[in-house]
Structure 1
Amino acid sequence: MVEYELVVERLRAAGCVFAEEEARLLVAAAADEVALARLVERRVEGVPLEHLLGWAEFGGLRVAVEPGVFVPRRRTEFLAESAVALARAGSVVVDLCCGAGAIAAVVAASVPGVRLFAADVDPVAVRCARRTLAGTGAVVCEGDFDAALPEGLLGGVDVLVANVPYVPSEAVEWMPSEARLHEPRTALDGGGDGLDVVRRLIGVAPRWLGSGGRVLFEVGSAQVEAAVAEVEAAGLVPRVRSCAEREATVVVGAR
């Protein structure tokens, strides 16, 4: 108990908002006092808690993460739930730019019988995704954007979900240091207006989607109008879903 209280004090002094919860997790993860001291030291230095633990909680699941891998945000649980709402047994679901495989994991756990594919260009993220999705039947591919996907999926995808970066380049420097210093810039930076990768996604989506298929992605509230215009320009029918509790906005484009 004394050990736990000392950890709480150190984390609180370092500015950790959820010091009590983080202390409990670090104490549980440490093999001994020396290991605990090192974990606390690294956390105080600003290393993301999830990188220290080796996992992130997402949608009630544990998603494997390693240093340098994007940590899935709780906000994005709404995007995962939106994908789940569109999938059925037998649906072909693709988690593009899957990172550690968080969205794919929620789909696998929520919709039995889906044909699930996940893809990312980062080999470390792909390694994490394969650990997270082990035993689910999901196929995890490594490669640049949709070039990683099997050609046999062309024109047959029912749900194409992608948590692409949408932070404008100049705003990345204002993000918390945990993200700026410990996560890949490519997973954060969405270009000048934040929608560069969104446009790339919308550009390739029509050739992958089957009849009635949907593409969905997350954006900031100020980007909705521009994102909807891009969806319409691609010949898709847009719909916007919002979750006030998570401050999340999802744009869906239907073929």
Structure 2
Amino acid sequence: MTYGFDGKVVIVTGGTSGIGLATAKAFADEGAFVFITGRRQEALDAAVTRIGGKVTGVRGDMGHLDDIDRLYDTVQQTHNQIDVVFANAGGGEFAPLGAISEEHYQSTFDSNVKGVLFTVQKALPLLRDGASIVLNASNVSAAGTPALSVYSATKAAVRSFARNWMLDLKDRHIRVNAVSPGVTDTAGLNQLFGGGEQAKETKTYLSGLIPSGRVAQPEEIARSVLFLASDEASFINGIELYVDGGQKQI
């Protein structure tokens, strides 16, 4: 199935690995002009090569407003408007209450909340009327998770953005939705779980908690993002789409 993105201009922040990389590749495979961001030039270059097609890499940290400005300055060098923004960049680490540092709080909120806010806000002059915005939230915002309170709070904020921004943008007919992945097999997740055998054991344990009996692959999340961004979802607005194998439904 194709979603009609040939010739469209798509922004994917945090597009060098995991869900962002898979989503950028899926858009590129459909013929879109894709702009990805990443903080490390080496990883950015590798992602551009892997994605192929009409993709442009822009080095930057979306928690820094100057880097967001540089992203959109790059877009404007070749395009007059943007059709899709997938605000994906972000991350987090474990930190239980009692061991949360100011640095942990600040860096997590800058990356996951500030970055999403200003990625979208600074795109508004370029977004065409009728464009689509997809925010990457997480199913951890809907239930308690040990040692992930700060990360979970940021993702709850992202989900709230979708509800509010669809109202702010209704006169321009710009839809805003959130995708909330569950446990997804990415390099970032392996690192969070300690890598190697420890990460493998943790994912095996978590698979037992998921009705589908396994963790997600990044490409499965990517397909959900493309659907929400496409005209196939033209009457879907402000939702949180769980892509977690049913975990949050039990």
Q: Which has the higher strand share?
A: 1
Could you tell me the TM-score, scaled by structure 1's length? 0.47
Could you tell me the TM-score, scaled by structure 2's length? 0.47
Which one scores higher on RCO, CA 8 angstroms, separation ≥ 6?
Answer: 2
Larger C-alpha radius of gyration, 1 or 2? 1
